[in-house]
A and B are shown apart, each in its own frame.
Chain A
Amino acid sequence: MEIDWKAYQTNGFFDELIDAKGNVRTHGKQLAEFFSKLSGDELKKARAVADLAIKEMGITFTVYNEGNMIDRAWPFDIIPRTIGKKEWQGIEVGLKQRVEALNLFIDDLYHDQKIIKDGVFPKGLLEKSVNFRQQCVGITPPNKIWAHICGSDLVRDGKGTMYVLEDNLRVPSGVSYMLENRSVMKRVFPELFEQVPILPVDDYPSQLFDMLAAMSPRPDDKPEVVVLTPGVFNSAYFEHCYLAQEMGCELVEGRDLVVEKDDCVYMRTITGLQRVDVIYRRIDDLFLDPEAFLPDSQLGVPGLMRAWSKGNVALVNAPGAGVADDKVVYAYVPEIIKYYLGEDAKIANVPTFKCLDPKECEHVIKNIDKLVIKPANESGGYGLLIGPKSTKKEQQETIAQIKADPRNWVAQPTLDLSTVPTLDGITPDGRHADLRPFILSSGKDTQITTGGLTRVAMTKGSLVVNSSQGGGSKDTWIVDEEAK
């Protein structure tokens, strides 16, 4: 049985492949045609090839909350998500603008705080921010860049408008899965890549390396760049390895590094201590340096902040960059862009109610069954309340938490997230998805991944796409509609 796209139901959602009239969108034409010619057996076979490739390549992520650590194969759907090149170019411009403004904002917060003095950003918010690091005040990292790597989550609403849902500025993860999804697809449907003009994604590791190397305090020498991982038990360990491997850098753990009396960072090698210039750290701020932050952290390196503040080593992302990624700050991003760049935001924010504002807070509590309630500083979907899908008891608990600390909560209308055709058995069925592109900033130039990581809620009707909560992913194609 072949796939009949006419029988595919969009159920009133905006679908990435099929429009409301049941026609295939231009950028998905070749894809839809290709799939419509595959028999059920061929689809099953393709899925098996993908599963095997994922198993053999050892593409995994670790799940915590099941009593113990489980290394799980990466859930993957073989129908790619397509975006037209034209639309994508517009998104790229918007993302650049956003990240540029966020970096100016962070640098301002750690120096003169003009945006507060000018009354655009409330002082009270900063005082209560759990990601503001006193230790970073007055420090100027190279090129004034704090958030070198940003992962912004994009979603579409029911009308197809693209919004930024959140910016991840601390240690955003997922880019390795974006790259691996592509290599799995190449194994599964090699012929598709001959037929469809798909833009390549695999330049990311070299761009990442160039950006990291450009941050070196000793630019004349060949810089020693390392990736700092919390270790094999971290849920993103696969990615840490992957990126170190693709860049040809050392993957280090805290115990491999030492800060010597000269306030420089060294790694312990077979030939003795060796100077480190740039650390792409995948450890949260608070674990970085037991001398500056949590004293009992086993993951970090004592003295690291000292070395960084003296400019002897670059930390990427800079400590304290997370101040701009909490969900309350998010609500101010349009104002932040306007303030620093004098421009309107090119990609819209999802309308956001700040519980800090008593009026908006009242509205949130009244409408809690219609809204998505988010704590300011959690990631991975933890602590989230989806109003329409919650019980009265859950709502009451969240209301109590909001009243206890209104600053820590924001709310957004439930978005009718767009859907993408996803195989359910051998039949495509709509599943909600988002998109996480990654933006690299060196201060001299900005680079954006081609597309990004498409995350899919694998369960019908579910809006939660996080891999830690049962989400899966797809290869993402930026398709050149004009190519012949």
Chain B
Amino acid sequence: MLSRVGETLYWVSRYIERAENVARLINVNNMLMMDLPKGVSTGWEPLVDIIGARKAYLETHTDFSEQKALRYLLVGKDNFSSILNSIISARESARTIRDVIPRDVWEEINSLYYYVKDNQNEGLSKRGRFTYLKTIIDAAHQIFGTLDATINHDLGYTFIRIGLMIERADMTSRILDIRSETLITSTEAKPYENIQWISLLRSLSAYQMYRQEMSVRVQRSDVIEFIMHSEVFPRSILFCLQELKVLIQPLPNASEINQSIDHAIDELKSEDVRELEKGYLHDYIDNIQVELAAIHNGLAELYFLKPAE
């Protein structure tokens, strides 16, 4: 496996997962807004925060109105993490390693690109939005499913899985961070607190699994515990890290990476998150993100193509 190819597979996977996550976030936020009374809603601002684009957004936008924020998140040219840009990056990267990925997968990525590009107006309209986002989410699942079923499960696939897990853990941490931070807790919103936690679960496709696994009503402490520490839910941060630990085993000289993953897991387990208050939770999640970045840097250092000397 060429170093350049390993790196590209890793990124293709991250971009697709990112697009899928953003699509799900928008979809769920859209649903939530319909449930919340006017004046209580947090609007679209938190979504821009989740993808870490607040500063860049405000350079070109004056407010977080639905149309402006949505356009930015869906197809914003100046937003590197917009769904369209993620898919463009995935397609362009995939194009440079077209020989490696199964044809069916390339065709799926290519079709997804045309779908996202050609149906933007559907995504921006209230009526078309659900179908538009659902199609993107399904296509992303289909791509990972086809990969799993058709590509050799060798080192290349390992890098696809690694990219997926890192992106997923990173997105989960961002969603939890911003969502718990911006939760409206004023007295008049009290009746809606639960819906907001449910919505957080939904944006991680975690609601049903939460009910099954935790068998308690939806409440802050249990939601946070589930999202961070579940050993069985595939989007929990702990789950992703443990999966990463297994994935890197066949990689040569993986002991350093193994150490940084262990370190991240220790860090993650070190706190009883149920008790963490707002500000502390934020710092704690920040730490986890630093750990994830360290894992990425370790991979890049060991396996990716270095720029020419």
Asked if B130 lies at the interface with its beta carbon under 8 angstroms from chain A, I say no
Give complex CA distance A462, B95 in Å.
33
Query: Once the chains bind, are A270 and B3 in contact (CB under 8 Å)?
Result: yes
Give complex CA distance A267, B1 in Å.
9
Query: Once the chains bind, are B106 and A269 in contact (CB under 8 Å)?
Result: no
Contact for B2 among A57, A232, A268, CB less than 8 A: A268
Stretch of B35-43, B107-115, B222-230, B232-240 at the chain-chain interface: B107-115
Interface hub of B98, B100, B114, B305 (most chain A Cβ within 10 A):
B98
* A247-300 interface (Cβ within 8 A of B): 249-253, 255-256, 267-272
Give complex CA distance A206, B294 in Å.
44
Query: Once the chains bind, are B103 and A245 in contact (CB under 8 Å)?
Result: yes
Known: A232-B96, A241-B99, A268-B305. A252 touches B2 (CB 8 A): yes
Nearest A-chain residue to B98, judged by Cβ: A241
Give complex CA distance A256, B6 in Å.
12
Give complex CA distance A270, B10 in Å.
13
Give complex CA distance A249, B6 in Å.
15
Size category of the binding interface on chain B = 20 to 34
Nearest B-chain residue to A226, judged by Cβ: B2
**Across-interface contacts of A237 in B (CB, < 8 A):** 95
Asked if B4 lies at the interface with its beta carbon under 8 angstroms from chain A, I say yes
Size category of the binding interface on chain A = 20 to 34
Query: Once the chains bind, are A272 and B252 in contact (CB under 8 Å)?
Result: yes
Nearest A-chain residue to B3, judged by Cβ: A268
Known: A58-B106, A268-B2. A256 touches B305 (CB 8 A): yes
Asked if B300 lies at the interface with its beta carbon under 8 angstroms from chain A, I say no
Give complex CA distance A231, B92 in Å.
12
Asked if A244 lies at the interface with its beta carbon under 8 angstroms from chain B, I say yes
**Across-interface contacts of A255 in B (CB, < 8 A):** 4, 305, 308
Interface hub of A56, A256, A268, A269 (most chain B Cβ within 10 A):
A269
Asked if B31 lies at the interface with its beta carbon under 8 angstroms from chain A, I say no
**Across-interface contacts of B97 in A (CB, < 8 A):** 251
Known: A58-B106, A58-B110, A245-B98. A253 touches B252 (CB 8 A): no
Query: Once the chains bind, are B98 and A270 in contact (CB under 8 Å)?
Result: no
Query: Once the chains bind, are B99 and A270 in contact (CB under 8 Å)?
Result: no
**Across-interface contacts of A240 in B (CB, < 8 A):** 99
Give complex CA distance A244, B101 in Å.
11
How close is B106's CB to chain A, nearest CB, in angstroms?
A: 6
Contact for A57 among B92, B107, B305, CB less than 8 A: B107
* B1-54 interface (Cβ within 8 A of A): 1-6
Nearest B-chain residue to A58, judged by Cβ: B110
**Across-interface contacts of B276 in A (CB, < 8 A):** none
Asked if B155 lies at the interface with its beta carbon under 8 angstroms from chain A, I say yes
Give complex CA distance A227, B99 in Å.
10
**Across-interface contacts of A58 in B (CB, < 8 A):** 95, 98, 106-107, 110
A-to-B contact residues, CB < 8 Å = 55-58, 227, 231-232, 237-238, 240-242, 244-245, 249-253, 255-256, 267-272
**23 CB < 8 A contacts A-B:** A56-B110, A56-B111, A56-B114, A57-B103, A57-B110, A231-B96, A232-B92, A232-B96, A241-B95, A242-B98, A244-B99, A245-B99, A245-B100, A250-B2, A250-B99, A251-B97, A251-B100, A252-B2, A255-B305, A255-B308, A270-B1, A270-B6, A271-B155
